[in-house]
Structure 1
Amino acid sequence: MADASPDLLVEIDGPVMTVTMNRPEARNAFSPDMLVRAADAWTRLDEDPALRVAILTGAEGCFCSGMDLKALAAGTSDDAAARWSADPDMHWKALLRHSRPSKPIVAAVEGYCVAGGTEILQATEIRVAGETAEFAIAEVQRGLFPLGGSTVRLQRQIGFTNSADLLLTGRRIRAAEAKAIGLIGHVVPKGEAMAKARELADLVAANGPLAVRAVLRSMRETAAMSEADGLAHELTVGEPIIFETQDAKEGPRAFAEKRPPVFTGE
């Protein structure tokens, strides 16, 4: 099942939602309508109990080239304008800057992933790229500031000097270097990022959904804590929330019975 708009595609296949940025004529740059629909997609992912994981990708061999300033200046549809007026924080929700779903997102990157494309990438958990993909946060080259969260998130993900290199030079790197510094986790032949992302998403979706959400929550909430504080917080997330659930009983039972577990999220 797929919901289509000119700028964004949302497809549901079992427990997996695929969100496709769909402006290939503009290298899938963000438009106002795309951002409104992306914000809706993330809300749907968070609230629909049947969904367990999402894939974020771009149409026709390109991930995203950031904000389309021409589209922004041209205005929005009446519906998007009304939504944006009602929620001035809409674009930050869409870009996963001010809120993130409680379920993981797998990124499938081909072609350009620059500026805002690399910024939204940092809000995904598992990242796959085709070998010819290119990454950059080039705002400084235009006298601009990367407001999508990169000056905060990137150094926590790839280290201070690697992030300073990318942020202060604005230089473009290929997938192999992006993997070497930890920006992405998998490099595959050109054109195969989506297939690998779906393989990984299916692995996530097959796991206990409550356990996945709790692990993700603990990872996020302890990221800036000291080790001692993080370990203490981990216990408050893991023990009382997970070990008394039906899924926690089903997993060991299925293992003992030598069958795949049937997790219900209860």
Structure 2
Amino acid sequence: MSGTEHLTVQREGATLVLTLNRPDARNALSLAMLVGLYDGWLQADADDSVRSIVLTGAGGAFCAGMDLKALAGDGMQGQQYRDRLKADPDLHWKAMLRHHRPRKPVIAAVEGHCVAGGTEILQGTDIRVAGESATFGLFEVRHGLFPIGGSTVRLQRQIPRTHALEMLLTGRPYSAREAAGIGLIGRVVPDGTALAGALEIAEQINACGPLAVEAVKASVYETAEMTETDGLAAELARGWPVFDTADAKEGARAFAEKRPPVYKRA
């Protein structure tokens, strides 16, 4: 497994688990973390045995956003990471899922703080599970900053605009229950069980046909801003080829034979 000192990577069956690993700073974003994240997204998509991705945080927190102390000084340590950013100035946006979308489903497992940049990364994930004591919010305006990780665009497309604007303009914290109530997250679970809940969802996804799963995800995102007519046409273009795959035939045979299907991405 790859990773960095601030981002750990491990396998749980067919799921790649990426863990933001800077618990002493509530997993505030560092350059080492961002490089590790981007490499993790690429690793998951390059490995056909990986069917899903879970993103979580170490030490009872998800992510407290950018490290403002490092931003104000010279705390973005690690020449090798600075070299990576110099070679690809867009790397940090790809890491935060602003300019990159993995083809595999991404499930967020949130405990504790998921604020500022944490809430921005969250908006790039597909399915979201949170512990009851998790906290969400976009605090940038409180510090005279702009939530430039995509929130002024994405948030209003994911939750009602009145809620998006309240979150963006007040910079106040939201509880997990309130976040679920406005549609920012999908499931609230007891504290300490978010990762288990996310892995349970991942296991259900992993049991499905991988070509079908990836085509469905792609169709949802590519048709989001289309008219219904254009979207339905795009859906057929994505969906019909799936029916011609060996996996589709295997799924039908397995159903008829009352056994679990064995999918081979073919």
Shorter-chain TM-score bucket reads over 0.9
Using structure 1 for the length normalisation, give the TM-score: 0.97
On the 8 A contact 1:32/1:71 being kept in 2, the answer is: no
Question: Partner letter of residue 134 of structure 1?
Answer: T
Using the TM superposition, give the Cα deviation of residue 4 of structure 1 relative to its aligned residue in structure 2, in angstroms. Answer: 5.1
Give the aligned partner of residue 85 of structure 2: 84
Q: Deviations over 1:17-66 (max 9, x none)?
A: 00000001110000011101111001111111111100000001100000
Cα distance between partner residues in 1 of 2:2 and 2:245: 34
Q: Which runs of 5+ in 2 are unaligned?
A: none
Using the TM superposition, give the Cα deviation of residue 10 of structure 1 relative to its aligned residue in structure 2, in angstroms. Answer: 0.5
On the 8 A contact 1:119/1:150 being kept in 2, the answer is: yes
Q: Which runs of 4+ in 1 moved over 4 A?
A: none
Give the aligned partner of residue 236 of structure 1: 237
Cα distance between partner residues in 2 of 1:26 and 1:32: 14
Q: Which runs of 5+ in 1 are unaligned?
A: none
Give the aligned partner of residue 19 of structure 2: 20
Using the TM superposition, give the Cα deviation of residue 206 of structure 1 relative to its aligned residue in structure 2, in angstroms. Answer: 1.0
Give the aligned partner of residue 48 of structure 2: 49
Give the aligned partner of residue 32 of structure 1: 31
Cα distance between partner residues in 2 of 1:93 and 1:76: 20
Question: Partner letter of residue 77 of structure 1?
Answer: G
**Pair 1:71-2:70 in alignment:** yes
Cα distance between partner residues in 1 of 2:76 and 2:175: 34
Cα distance between partner residues in 1 of 2:84 and 2:68: 19
- The root-mean-square deviation of aligned C-alpha atoms, in Å, is 1.0
Give the aligned partner of residue 197 of structure 2: 196
Give the aligned partner of residue 57 of structure 2: 58
Give the aligned partner of residue 253 of structure 1: 253
Give the aligned partner of residue 177 of structure 1: 178
Question: Partner letter of residue 82 of structure 1?
Answer: D
Matches within 5 A, 1:31-180: 31-72=30-71, 73-180=74-181
Question: Partner letter of residue 236 of structure 1?
Answer: A
Using the TM superposition, give the Cα deviation of residue 226 of structure 1 relative to its aligned residue in structure 2, in angstroms. Answer: 1.5
Cα distance between partner residues in 1 of 2:112 and 2:223: 33
Q: Deviations over 1:225-258 (max 9, x none)?
A: 1112111111111112x01000010111100000
